[in-house]
Amino acid sequence: MFSSCFRADVFDQFPADSHSLLKDIVFSQAGVVFPDQVDALTNKLDSAPNDLLVRLMPLAAACAWAPVSSFYVGAVARGLSGNVYLGANMELAGGSMAVTLHAEQAVINNAWLNGEKGLDRLAVNAAPCGHCRQFMFETSTAESLDIMIGDMTDSQAVEHCQLTQLLPSAFGPKNLGVTTLLMDDASQSLQVDEGDPLAVAACQAACASYAPYSGGYAGVALRTDDDAVFVGRYAENAAFNPSLTAIISALSQLRFGSLNTRRRISEIVLVEHPAAVSQKQLTDTVLNALGVDHFRYLEATL
Protein backbone atom coordinates (compact mmCIF):
# COMPACT_ATOMS: atom_id res chain seq x y z
CA MET A 1 0.00 0.00 0.00
CA PHE A 2 2.77 2.41 0.93
CA SER A 3 5.40 0.13 -0.59
CA SER A 4 8.19 1.75 -2.52
CA CYS A 5 7.38 5.17 -1.05
CA PHE A 6 10.90 5.45 0.36
CA ARG A 7 13.22 7.52 -1.83
CA ALA A 8 16.46 5.57 -1.57
CA ASP A 9 18.58 8.18 -3.37
CA VAL A 10 18.65 9.99 -0.02
CA PHE A 11 21.55 7.75 1.01
CA ASP A 12 23.74 9.65 -1.47
CA GLN A 13 23.61 12.57 0.97
CA PHE A 14 25.37 10.55 3.66
CA PRO A 15 28.90 9.09 3.94
CA ALA A 16 29.16 5.53 2.61
CA ASP A 17 30.20 4.11 5.98
CA SER A 18 26.89 5.27 7.51
CA HIS A 19 24.63 3.59 4.93
CA SER A 20 24.36 0.25 6.67
CA LEU A 21 23.25 1.85 9.92
CA LEU A 22 20.83 4.24 8.19
CA LYS A 23 19.27 1.31 6.31
CA ASP A 24 18.77 -0.55 9.59
CA ILE A 25 16.96 2.50 11.00
CA VAL A 26 14.52 2.88 8.11
CA PHE A 27 14.16 -0.70 6.90
CA SER A 28 14.40 -2.74 10.13
CA GLN A 29 13.62 -0.37 13.00
CA ALA A 30 10.66 1.63 11.64
CA GLY A 31 12.38 4.97 12.15
CA VAL A 32 13.65 4.40 15.69
CA VAL A 33 17.31 5.20 16.49
CA PHE A 34 18.63 3.67 19.69
CA PRO A 35 21.12 5.56 21.91
CA ASP A 36 24.20 3.55 20.85
CA GLN A 37 23.27 4.23 17.23
CA VAL A 38 22.82 7.93 18.03
CA ASP A 39 26.41 7.92 19.29
CA ALA A 40 27.66 5.98 16.26
CA LEU A 41 25.89 8.31 13.81
CA THR A 42 27.12 11.40 15.64
CA ASN A 43 30.65 10.14 14.93
CA LYS A 44 30.07 8.91 11.38
CA LEU A 45 28.29 12.08 10.33
CA ASP A 46 30.79 14.25 12.20
CA SER A 47 27.97 16.14 13.83
CA ALA A 48 27.32 17.67 17.26
CA PRO A 49 24.69 15.67 19.20
CA ASN A 50 21.96 18.28 18.80
CA ASP A 51 22.81 18.82 15.14
CA LEU A 52 22.31 15.12 14.45
CA LEU A 53 18.55 15.66 14.41
CA VAL A 54 18.92 18.22 11.64
CA ARG A 55 21.38 15.99 9.82
CA LEU A 56 18.81 13.16 9.81
CA MET A 57 15.95 15.31 8.47
CA PRO A 58 16.49 14.24 4.84
CA LEU A 59 16.30 10.58 5.90
CA ALA A 60 12.95 11.28 7.59
CA ALA A 61 11.66 13.27 4.61
CA ALA A 62 12.56 10.36 2.32
CA CYS A 63 9.86 8.38 4.16
CA ALA A 64 7.12 10.88 3.26
CA TRP A 65 4.05 9.75 1.34
CA ALA A 66 2.83 12.89 -0.42
CA PRO A 67 0.90 11.98 -3.59
CA VAL A 68 -1.12 15.21 -3.41
CA SER A 69 1.49 17.88 -2.66
CA SER A 70 4.80 16.21 -3.57
CA PHE A 71 6.04 18.29 -0.62
CA TYR A 72 8.21 16.04 1.51
CA VAL A 73 8.50 16.93 5.18
CA GLY A 74 10.69 15.08 7.65
CA ALA A 75 10.71 15.49 11.42
CA VAL A 76 13.26 14.02 13.82
CA ALA A 77 12.71 14.10 17.57
CA ARG A 78 14.70 13.05 20.61
CA GLY A 79 12.79 11.36 23.40
CA LEU A 80 13.50 11.60 27.10
CA SER A 81 14.86 8.02 26.93
CA GLY A 82 17.63 9.10 24.55
CA ASN A 83 16.06 7.37 21.54
CA VAL A 84 15.63 9.42 18.38
CA TYR A 85 12.58 9.00 16.13
CA LEU A 86 11.73 9.78 12.53
CA GLY A 87 8.40 11.08 11.26
CA ALA A 88 7.13 12.25 7.87
CA ASN A 89 3.98 13.60 6.30
CA MET A 90 1.37 11.27 4.84
CA GLU A 91 -1.40 12.23 2.42
CA LEU A 92 -4.16 9.94 1.24
CA ALA A 93 -4.98 10.35 -2.45
CA GLY A 94 -8.68 9.68 -2.95
CA GLY A 95 -9.31 10.53 0.70
CA SER A 96 -9.74 13.92 2.29
CA MET A 97 -7.39 16.78 3.13
CA ALA A 98 -8.75 16.47 6.68
CA VAL A 99 -6.94 13.17 7.26
CA THR A 100 -3.51 14.41 6.19
CA LEU A 101 -0.83 13.58 8.75
CA HIS A 102 1.94 16.11 9.23
CA ALA A 103 5.54 15.14 9.95
CA GLU A 104 5.50 16.58 13.46
CA GLN A 105 2.41 14.53 14.30
CA ALA A 106 3.99 11.43 12.76
CA VAL A 107 7.17 11.72 14.81
CA ILE A 108 5.26 12.29 18.06
CA ASN A 109 3.06 9.30 17.19
CA ASN A 110 6.11 7.12 16.50
CA ALA A 111 7.75 8.13 19.78
CA TRP A 112 4.55 7.72 21.82
CA LEU A 113 3.77 4.28 20.39
CA ASN A 114 7.30 3.22 21.25
CA GLY A 115 6.73 4.10 24.91
CA GLU A 116 8.32 7.52 25.00
CA LYS A 117 7.04 9.79 27.81
CA GLY A 118 8.10 13.10 26.30
CA LEU A 119 10.40 14.83 23.83
CA ASP A 120 13.11 17.36 24.52
CA ARG A 121 13.93 18.43 20.95
CA LEU A 122 12.29 18.25 17.54
CA ALA A 123 13.79 19.16 14.16
CA VAL A 124 11.73 19.67 11.02
CA ASN A 125 12.62 20.85 7.52
CA ALA A 126 9.80 23.37 7.16
CA ALA A 127 8.35 25.84 9.65
CA PRO A 128 5.67 24.03 11.71
CA CYS A 129 2.19 25.02 10.58
CA GLY A 130 -0.36 26.30 13.09
CA HIS A 131 -2.02 22.90 13.24
CA CYS A 132 1.27 21.25 14.29
CA ARG A 133 2.14 23.94 16.81
CA GLN A 134 -1.20 23.22 18.47
CA PHE A 135 -0.68 19.44 18.26
CA MET A 136 2.80 19.68 19.82
CA PHE A 137 1.43 21.91 22.58
CA GLU A 138 -0.64 18.96 23.85
CA THR A 139 2.46 16.92 24.74
CA SER A 140 3.87 16.36 28.21
CA THR A 141 7.05 18.38 27.51
CA ALA A 142 5.52 21.20 25.45
CA GLU A 143 6.61 23.92 27.88
CA SER A 144 10.29 23.04 27.39
CA LEU A 145 10.33 21.60 23.86
CA ASP A 146 13.13 22.94 21.67
CA ILE A 147 12.32 23.26 17.98
CA MET A 148 14.93 23.32 15.21
CA ILE A 149 13.68 24.49 11.83
CA GLY A 150 16.17 23.36 9.24
CA ASP A 151 16.82 23.86 5.58
CA MET A 152 17.77 20.70 3.71
CA THR A 153 19.69 22.66 1.12
CA ASP A 154 21.79 24.45 3.73
CA SER A 155 22.64 22.49 6.86
CA GLN A 156 23.98 25.65 8.52
CA ALA A 157 20.69 27.54 8.20
CA VAL A 158 18.92 26.30 11.29
CA GLU A 159 16.53 28.38 13.35
CA HIS A 160 16.32 27.43 17.04
CA CYS A 161 13.37 28.34 19.20
CA GLN A 162 11.05 27.04 21.87
CA LEU A 163 7.58 25.77 21.05
CA THR A 164 6.20 28.35 23.45
CA GLN A 165 7.72 31.07 21.25
CA LEU A 166 6.00 29.59 18.20
CA LEU A 167 2.64 29.54 19.95
CA PRO A 168 2.26 32.70 22.02
CA SER A 169 -0.94 33.24 24.00
CA ALA A 170 -1.56 29.53 23.60
CA PHE A 171 -4.82 27.74 24.25
CA GLY A 172 -4.09 24.28 25.57
CA PRO A 173 -5.14 21.43 27.85
CA LYS A 174 -4.83 23.47 31.02
CA ASN A 175 -7.51 25.86 29.72
CA LEU A 176 -9.87 22.88 29.80
CA GLY A 177 -8.68 21.61 33.19
CA VAL A 178 -6.60 18.73 31.79
CA THR A 179 -3.30 18.08 33.57
CA THR A 180 -2.39 14.55 32.41
CA LEU A 181 -1.03 15.31 28.95
CA LEU A 182 -0.29 13.49 25.71
CA MET A 183 2.61 11.05 26.27
CA ASP A 184 2.17 11.16 30.07
CA ASP A 185 1.91 7.77 31.73
CA ALA A 186 -1.82 6.96 31.83
CA SER A 187 -3.95 3.96 31.01
CA GLN A 188 -7.66 3.16 30.85
CA SER A 189 -9.18 -0.17 31.92
CA LEU A 190 -11.18 -1.03 28.81
CA GLN A 191 -12.49 -4.44 27.81
CA VAL A 192 -14.03 -5.95 24.70
CA ASP A 193 -16.01 -9.16 24.33
CA GLU A 194 -13.81 -10.67 21.63
CA GLY A 195 -10.52 -12.22 22.73
CA ASP A 196 -8.60 -12.88 19.51
CA PRO A 197 -5.09 -11.37 19.33
CA LEU A 198 -6.01 -8.50 16.99
CA ALA A 199 -8.99 -7.44 19.13
CA VAL A 200 -6.78 -7.60 22.22
CA ALA A 201 -4.08 -5.51 20.51
CA ALA A 202 -6.64 -2.88 19.46
CA CYS A 203 -8.09 -2.81 22.97
CA GLN A 204 -4.63 -2.35 24.47
CA ALA A 205 -4.06 0.54 22.06
CA ALA A 206 -7.38 2.07 23.12
CA CYS A 207 -6.39 1.72 26.79
CA ALA A 208 -3.20 3.68 26.08
CA SER A 209 -4.94 6.29 23.90
CA TYR A 210 -5.47 9.92 24.91
CA ALA A 211 -9.04 11.25 24.94
CA PRO A 212 -9.41 13.53 27.96
CA TYR A 213 -11.99 15.77 26.30
CA SER A 214 -14.50 13.26 24.92
CA GLY A 215 -13.70 9.99 26.69
CA GLY A 216 -13.83 8.33 23.27
CA TYR A 217 -10.70 6.26 23.84
CA ALA A 218 -9.86 4.38 20.66
CA GLY A 219 -7.26 2.06 19.20
CA VAL A 220 -6.71 0.30 15.89
CA ALA A 221 -4.86 -2.93 15.21
CA LEU A 222 -4.26 -4.18 11.69
CA ARG A 223 -2.77 -7.34 10.29
CA THR A 224 -1.02 -7.45 6.94
CA ASP A 225 -0.93 -10.22 4.37
CA ASP A 226 2.48 -11.35 5.68
CA ASP A 227 1.09 -11.57 9.24
CA ALA A 228 2.71 -8.41 10.65
CA VAL A 229 0.62 -6.44 13.16
CA PHE A 230 0.59 -2.65 13.57
CA VAL A 231 -1.36 -0.56 16.05
CA GLY A 232 -2.45 3.05 16.33
CA ARG A 233 -3.90 5.19 19.11
CA TYR A 234 -6.26 8.13 19.22
CA ALA A 235 -4.67 11.40 20.40
CA GLU A 236 -7.09 14.22 21.16
CA ASN A 237 -6.26 17.88 21.20
CA ALA A 238 -7.61 20.74 23.28
CA ALA A 239 -8.48 22.55 20.04
CA PHE A 240 -10.25 19.38 18.81
CA ASN A 241 -9.48 19.71 15.07
CA PRO A 242 -5.77 18.77 15.28
CA SER A 243 -6.70 15.49 17.00
CA LEU A 244 -5.07 12.39 15.49
CA THR A 245 -7.40 9.49 14.78
CA ALA A 246 -6.44 5.91 15.60
CA ILE A 247 -6.61 4.76 11.98
CA ILE A 248 -4.21 7.47 10.77
CA SER A 249 -1.90 6.71 13.69
CA ALA A 250 -1.88 3.03 12.69
CA LEU A 251 -1.39 3.76 8.98
CA SER A 252 1.62 5.95 9.75
CA GLN A 253 3.17 3.12 11.73
CA LEU A 254 2.37 0.67 8.92
CA ARG A 255 4.11 3.01 6.51
CA PHE A 256 7.24 3.32 8.70
CA GLY A 257 7.30 -0.44 9.26
CA SER A 258 7.01 -1.21 5.55
CA LEU A 259 9.43 1.13 3.83
CA ASN A 260 11.03 -1.64 1.79
CA THR A 261 8.27 -4.24 2.02
CA ARG A 262 5.16 -4.62 -0.11
CA ARG A 263 2.27 -5.15 2.31
CA ARG A 264 -1.50 -5.11 2.15
CA ILE A 265 -3.97 -4.91 5.02
CA SER A 266 -5.77 -8.22 5.46
CA GLU A 267 -7.66 -7.57 8.69
CA ILE A 268 -8.33 -4.51 10.83
CA VAL A 269 -10.09 -3.80 14.14
CA LEU A 270 -11.18 -0.49 15.68
CA VAL A 271 -11.92 -0.59 19.41
CA GLU A 272 -13.64 2.49 20.78
CA HIS A 273 -15.19 3.53 24.04
CA PRO A 274 -18.65 4.99 23.26
CA ALA A 275 -18.73 8.76 23.71
CA ALA A 276 -20.15 11.91 22.15
CA VAL A 277 -17.73 11.51 19.23
CA SER A 278 -16.89 8.42 17.18
CA GLN A 279 -14.21 7.45 14.67
CA LYS A 280 -16.27 4.69 13.11
CA GLN A 281 -17.43 6.56 10.00
CA LEU A 282 -14.12 8.27 9.39
CA THR A 283 -12.28 4.94 9.68
CA ASP A 284 -14.65 3.47 7.10
CA THR A 285 -14.04 6.42 4.76
CA VAL A 286 -10.25 6.22 5.09
CA LEU A 287 -10.20 2.48 4.51
CA ASN A 288 -12.45 2.82 1.47
CA ALA A 289 -9.98 5.30 0.00
CA LEU A 290 -7.31 2.63 0.46
CA GLY A 291 -9.43 -0.11 -1.09
CA VAL A 292 -10.01 -1.92 2.20
CA ASP A 293 -13.71 -2.72 2.32
CA HIS A 294 -14.16 -4.27 5.74
CA PHE A 295 -13.16 -3.65 9.33
CA ARG A 296 -14.39 -4.88 12.68
CA TYR A 297 -15.79 -2.32 15.08
CA LEU A 298 -15.84 -3.25 18.74
CA GLU A 299 -17.29 -1.11 21.51
CA ALA A 300 -15.25 -1.20 24.68
CA THR A 301 -16.59 -1.10 28.21
CA LEU A 302 -14.84 0.33 31.21
Range 84-123, binding Zn ion (CB under 5 A): 102
CA-to-CA distance for 246 and 179, rounded, in angstroms? 22
CA-to-CA distance for 246 and 101, rounded, in angstroms? 12
* Min dist. Cβ of residue 149 to Zn ion (A): 12
Q: Where are the alpha helices (DSSP H) in 32-129?
A: 35-44, 49-55, 57-61, 103-113
DSSP letter at 132? Answer: H
**Considering beta carbons, is residue 102 or 223 the nearer one to Zn ion?**
102
* Min dist. Cβ of residue 79 to Zn ion (A): 20
Catalytic member of 91, 104, 138, 236: 104
* Min dist. Cβ of residue 124 to Zn ion (A): 8
**Considering beta carbons, is residue 216 or 242 the nearer one to Zn ion?**
242
Residue type, 160: H
**Considering beta carbons, is residue 32 or 132 the nearer one to Zn ion?**
132
Closest to 60 (Cα-Cα) out of 121, 18, 104? 104
Q: Which residues pair with 228 in a beta bridge?
A: none
**Considering beta carbons, is residue 23 or 131 the nearer one to Zn ion?**
131
Query: Helix, strand, coil proportions of the chain in percent (round to 5)?
Result: 35, 25, 45
Distance of CA 162 to the CA centre of its chain: 20
Residue 255 binds to Zn ion (criterion: CB under 5 A): no
* Min dist. Cβ of residue 151 to Zn ion (A): 17
104 is catalytic: yes
**DSSP states along 207-243:** HT-B-TTT---EEEEEEETTS-EEEEE-B--TTSTT-
DSSP letter at 78? Answer: E
**Considering beta carbons, is residue 84 or 90 the nearer one to Zn ion?**
90
Residue 132 binds to Zn ion (criterion: CB under 5 A): yes
Q: Which residues pair with 221 in a beta bridge?
A: 231, 269
**Considering beta carbons, is residue 102 or 273 the nearer one to Zn ion?**
102
From 25-33, 52-60, 130-138, 144-152, span contacting Zn ion (CB under 5 A): 130-138
Number of residues binding to Zn ion, judged by CB under 5 A: 4
User: Is 255 in contact with 63 (CB distance < 8 Å)?
Assistant: yes
* Min dist. Cβ of residue 190 to Zn ion (A): 30
From 57-65, 132-140, 235-243, 294-302, span contacting Zn ion (CB under 5 A): 132-140
From 129-137, 144-152, 211-219, 268-276, span contacting Zn ion (CB under 5 A): 129-137
Distance of CA 237 to the CA centre of its chain: 15
Residue 129 binds to Zn ion (criterion: CB under 5 A): yes
* Min dist. Cβ of residue 89 to Zn ion (A): 8
CA-to-CA distance for 22 and 15, rounded, in angstroms? 10
Active site residues: 104
Residues that bind Zn ion (CB under 5 A): 102, 129, 131-132
